[in-house]
A and B are shown apart, each in its own frame.
Chain A
Amino acid sequence: MLSLQIILAVAIYWIALGVAGLALRCTREAHARLFFSLGAAGSLVLAVAALPALSDWPQTLVLPLGLPDLPFHLRLDPLSAFFLLLLGAASTGVSLHSAGYFQKGGGGDIRLVCLQYHVFLAAMVMVLLADDGYLFMVAWESMALASYFLVTTDHRHAEIRSAGLLYLVVAHIGAVAILLCFGVLQLGTWDYTFAAMRDNALSPGWAGVAFLLALFGFGAKAGFLPVHVWLPEAHPAAPSPVSALMSGVMLKTAIYGLLRVSFDLLHLQIWWWGVVALSVGLLTAFYGVAFAAVQTDMKRLLAWSSIENIGIVLAGIGLTLTFHAYDMSLLSAFALAATLYHCLNHALFKSLLFLATGSVMHATRQRSLGKLGGLIRRMPWVAAMALIGTLAIAGLPPLNGFASEWMLLQAFLLTPGLPNSYLNMFVPVATAAVALVVALAGYVMVKFYGVVFLGLPREESLAEAHDAGAFERLGLGWLALWCVVLGVTPVFVVAALDPIAQMLVGATLRNMLGQSSWIFLTAIQPEHASYGPMVFLLVIVGVMAATFLVVRRFYHGRMRRSAPWDCGFLGLNARMQDSAEGFGQPIKQIFEPFFRIERHHPSPFDRAPRYASKLEDNLWYWLYLPIVRLAERLAGLVAVLHHGRIALYLVYSFVTLLLLLVLMT
C-alpha cells in the first residue's frame, strides 16, 4: 500500500542528493563514486517498490503544491508502475556505470552534472506519477530542461550547443501539442485532472483531434518521423550515461504518455488511428534502420537504432488500437503486451550499448567507427557485455529482444481475422516491412560490434586502451543480466504485463497464460504458436559443451598460432578490413532514394584528387529548412518595426494607450 509514498520519497531523495552534492567539496572521483552509487541505490528501491504495484489497485495522492484550484494529483496504477519499474531497472545500471564513468572525463563540473542527472530522474518519476495536466506539464518541462543541460554538458563545442538548441526547440513544439491535447480532453469543464478527463465523453471528431495532437506531441519526444531530427544530434552530443538514460528511459515516458492518452483518457478508439500509428511506426522504423546502417559515428548509429525501435513500438501500439477498435480484445491485449515488453527490452539493451560506447570512448578517446577496432582483446569485459547487448538488439533468441519481436510478429500474423478486407490484405504486407526492419537491425549491429570490437585496431593509440573499471563493469553486468533473464522467462514477463492489458483494453491474457507452461510462451493458443527460450539456451549450451568434449575425447584439442591466411597475402594491415562506410555500402546502394547523398568526385585534372561523400537526412531539407526560412522571413517582416528610434517606440506606446482609452470608455 505504501508504493506511491516510497516512490515519491525516492524522487525527493534524488533531488536532495543532487542539492547536497552541490554543497559538498571533495575530489571528482570521490564525488562521482559516492553520489552516483547512492543514486543507484535509489533506483533499486524504486524498481522494487514499483513491482508489487503492477498487480495492485491504483493508489492516489494529492500534494498540497501546485495551483490554487489544481493541486498536484499523483496516481500509481499498473501502467505507471510498469514504466517506473523500467526507469528503476535501467537507471540502476546507468547510475552504477556513471559512478565509474564520471570519475574521469565526461566534461563539466561534476557537482552540476550530478544535480542535473538526479533532477532528470526525479522529473521522469513525476511525469509517470502525474494524474493531472498541470503536474504532467511541469514535470515534462523539467525533464526537458534537465536533459538539455545534461546534453550541453560539454558546451565548449559548437555542434553540441546547436544540438542542444535543436533538442530544446523540438521538445517545446511537442510540449505545445501536448498542452493542446489536454485542452481538447478537458472538453470545456476547465478541470485538468486526469480523473475528470476520463469521465468526459468526446465525440469521435474531437477524440481524433486529441489523438493526433498526442501522437505529434509525444512523438516529438519519442522520435517519430518527421519530428525525429533532434534525436541523432542530441543523443550523441550528451555524455554516454545521459544518452543511455535518454534513449532508454526518456523515450519511453513519451510512449507512456501516448498510451495514457489513447487508452486511458480516451474511451473510444477508431480504426483509422491504428492505421495512422501503424504506418508512421513502420516508416519511422524503416527510416531509422536505413540511416543507422550508413553511420560512421558509434553513438549516432545507436541513436538512429533507437528511432527504429521506437518505430516498432509505435507499430505495436497501432496494431493494438486497430484490434481494439474492432473489439478483438484478446488480440489487442496480446499486441499491447508485446509492445510493452519491447519497451522494457529496449530500455535495457540500448542503455547497455550506450554505456559500452561510453567505456570505449573513455578508454580510446575515439567515437568515430573509422578509428576503432580490435578492442575485444584490450577490453574483454566490455566486449563480452556489449556482445550480449548486440545479440539482444539484433533480435536473436534466446535473449529478450527476440521474445518481444516474436510476440509482435505473432500479433501481426493474427491480422487476417480483421473485418476490413483492405486491412486484411495490407497488414500482412506490412509485416514483411517489420521483418525487413528486424533483419536490417541485425545487419546494423553486426557492423557496430564488428567494426568497434573485432578485427585489427585502426589507430596506433588503441593499443593503450584499458578495460572498464569496477563500477562500469557492475553497471554493464546488471543490464546484461536482465537482458538474458527477461529473454528466457517471457511467460513471467507477460504474466506481469497482464494487469496493464486488463486496465487499458479490458481483456486478460490469463487463459492464454494458463495454457502455456512456465517454459513455453504460447501465442493465443498452444496449437497456434509457442516459443521456449529456456530450451534454446539449455540445448545450445549443452550441445556446445558436448561437442567440445566429444571432439577433445576422440580427436585432440591441439592448436597453434600463426599469421592470418588471408588467401596467402602477406602484408595484412588494418586498412584492409571494412570501414564503417564500406560495411554500410550495400544498404546505401539499395536504399539510395531514401538518403540525401552529396558526392564530390575527383576530376581527371585534379592535382590532389579527393573523394568525399556526405549523407544527410532528406526530411531536414524538405520539411525543416523551409519552415525555418519561413520563420526567418516572418521575423524579418516583424523586424521592420525595429528602427532603433526612440521617438517611434514612444509613438507605439502612445497609440496603444489611446486605443485602450477609447475601448475602455
Chain B
Amino acid sequence: MNWGYLASQLFQTALAIATAPLLLGWVSQCRAWLQNRSGPGVLQPYRVLFKLLQKDAVIAHNASWLFRLAPYVVFACMVLAVSIVPLVATDLPFALAADVIALVGLLALARVFMALAAMDVGTAFGSLGARREMLIACLAEPALLMVFFTPALISQSTELPVIVDQLAHRELRLYPSMAFAAVAFLMVLLAENARIPVDNPTTHLELTMVHEAMLLEYSARHLALMEWAHALKLMTYAAIGIALFAPWGIAAAGEWLMFPLAVGVLAAKLALGGAGLALLETVSAKMRIFRVPEFLGMAFMLAVLGMLTWILVQA
C-alpha cells in the first residue's frame, strides 16, 4: 500500500468536501452579479449548512427509518463519487474501483434513495418530485452513456484516469466529435444537477420543483447533508467534464510538488465553469417538464452524432 497515494486520495476527498459548497456559492454569486444584485457572498452556503446543523431535526410522524437513513447514504455516495473522479490527481487508489459507468451507477444509487425518501412521508409533493426526478434520470442516462462513448473510443478505455492521460497528452487539436460530446454533456449536466433550464434550484413554487420537492420534508442535519451532497454532485459532474474535455494540468498521484499547481488549475477551471453556468442560467428560461424529454433527446442525438463523426473521420 503506497502511503503517498493514500494520502493524495484523502487530500482530494477532504478538499472536495470542503470546497463543494464554495462552488455552489460562486455560481449563485455570479448569477446575482449578472442580474445586477449584490448577492449573498460566496460563503453563504457554508453559513446555511452550519445553521442547519445546529437545529433540531423535525421529522414527520409517519417517516420511517428509510427517511432518516437516506441523507447519510446520499452523502456517502457523493463523497465516494468525488473521490473517484480525478480532481487534482489521477491514479488514485479509489479510481480503480469505478470507471465512468460505475460512477453513473453510483449517482443512480444516491438518486434512488432520494426518490424513495421523498415518497416515504406520503405527501403529494414528494411523489411529484420523485416521479419527475426519475423521469429526467431515465432519459439522461442514455445520453450520458453516449457522451462517454466518444472519449472511450478515442482512449480505448472507460477509466477516467486513463482518459485523462490519453487526452491530455495528445496534440492540441480540434475534435468535432468531442465538441458535440461536450455540448451534450453540458445539457445532461444541467438536467442532472437541477439547473435552469431544466429545474430552478431557487424556486419556491412547489409545482415547478423537481429536486427541491424531494427535500421538502427534511430539516436540520438531514437537510444539511442533502444540500452538501447536491454541491458534491455538481462538483463531480464538473470534474467529469473537465477530465473529459479539458484534462490539462491534472497531477499524478504521489507527485506532491505538482499538487499546488493542480489545485490552482482546478480552481481556475471551476471558477470559469461556474461563471459560464451562471451565464447560461441567466439567459435561459426554465422549460416545461414535458419539454425536458425533447431537450434530453437532443443531447442524445448530439452525443450519437459525435460518436459517429469520430468513427467516420477519426476527428
Contacts and interface: CB of A to CB of B under 8 A. Distances in A.
A and B touch in the complex (CB under 8 A): yes
Interface of A: 373-374, 376-377, 380, 387, 391, 394-397, 402, 406, 409-410, 413, 416, 424-425, 428-429, 431-433, 435-436, 438-440, 442-443, 445-446, 449-451, 454-456, 519-520, 526-532, 535-536, 539-544, 547-548, 551, 554-567, 572, 574, 576-578, 582-583, 585-587, 589-590
B119 A530 contact: no
B221 interface: yes
15 contacts: A374-B62, A396-B108, A428-B146, A436-B139, A436-B141, A439-B137, A439-B139, A445-B112, A451-B119, A454-B120, A559-B59, A562-B61, A567-B216, A578-B119, A578-B124
A529 B157 contact: yes
A587 to B, nearest CB: 7
B289 to A, nearest CB: 8
A536 B131 contact: no
A413 B152 contact: yes
A432 B304 contact: yes
A456 B105 contact: no
Given A409-B145, A559-B58, 17 more contacts: A395-B108, A397-B105, A428-B307, A432-B146, A435-B142, A442-B134, A442-B137, A456-B62, A520-B97, A539-B97, A540-B76, A543-B79, A562-B59, A564-B61, A577-B122, A578-B127, A589-B290
B115 interface: yes
Interface string B143-168: 11110010011001111001000000
Contacts of A589: 290
A365 B223 CA distance: 37
Contacts of A450: 115-116, 119, 127, 130
B217 interface: yes
A446 B131 CA distance: 9
A439 B157 contact: no
Given A406-B102, A439-B138, A578 B76 contact: no
A443 B131 CA distance: 8
Contacts of B119: 446, 450-451, 454-455, 577-578
Given A406-B102, A547-B225, A583 B127 contact: yes
B57 interface: yes
A439 B146 CA distance: 14
A396 B149 contact: no
Nearest to B68: A559
A121 to B, nearest CB: 34
Contacts of B261: none
B59 to A, nearest CB: 6
B203 interface: no
A515 to B, nearest CB: 12
Interface in B89-132: 94, 96-99, 101-102, 105-106, 108-109, 112, 115-116, 119-128, 130-132
A interface SS class? helix
Contacts of B97: 519-520, 530-532, 535-536, 539
A410 B104 CA distance: 13
B94 A535 contact: yes
A126 B194 CA distance: 54
Given A409-B145, A432-B142, A532-B98, A558 B57 contact: yes
Question: Nearest 3 CB-CB pairs, A to B?
Answer: A578-B127, A455-B122, A456-B122
A556 B221 CA distance: 9
A539 B73 CA distance: 11
A536 B127 contact: no
B77 interface: yes
A412 to B, nearest CB: 9
Contacts of A551: 53, 221, 225
A416 B108 contact: no
A387 B206 CA distance: 28
B35 interface: no
A395 B225 contact: no
B99 A530 contact: yes
A431 B150 CA distance: 13
A432 B157 CA distance: 18
A518 to B, nearest CB: 13
Contact of B56 (A373, A391, A410, A559): A559
B120 A555 contact: no
Given A410-B158, A413-B158, A528-B158, A439 B142 contact: yes
A494 to B, nearest CB: 16
A540 B122 contact: no
Nearest to A540: B76
Contact of A374 (B94, B122, B141): B122
B145 A564 contact: no
B300 A440 contact: no
B64 A377 contact: yes
B43 interface: no
A590 B293 contact: yes
A394 B112 contact: yes
Contacts of A539: 76, 79-80, 83, 94, 97
Interface in B221-259: 221, 225
A658 B149 CA distance: 75
Nearest to A520: B96
B64 to A, nearest CB: 5
Interface in B62-87: 62-66, 72-73, 75-77, 79-80, 83
Contacts of A587: 135
B96 A530 contact: yes
Contacts of A566: 121, 123-125, 216-217
A582 B101 contact: no
A562 B142 contact: no
A338 to B, nearest CB: 13
Contact of B123 (A396, A431, A540, A564): A564
B58 A442 contact: no
Interface in B149-196: 149, 152-153, 156-159, 162
A315 to B, nearest CB: 15
B258 to A, nearest CB: 22
Given A539-B80, A543-B79, A567-B216, A435 B66 contact: no
A439 B141 contact: yes
Nearest to B166: A527
B285 to A, nearest CB: 21
A529 B158 contact: yes
Given A428-B149, A562-B58, A578 B128 contact: yes
Contacts of A387: 66
A433 B61 contact: no
A436 B142 contact: yes
A451 B118 CA distance: 12
A451 B119 CA distance: 8
A433 B300 CA distance: 11
Contact of A543 (B75, B135, B156): B75
B221 A577 contact: no
A436 B143 CA distance: 9
Given A413-B158, A425-B311, A376 B66 contact: yes
A589 B60 CA distance: 33
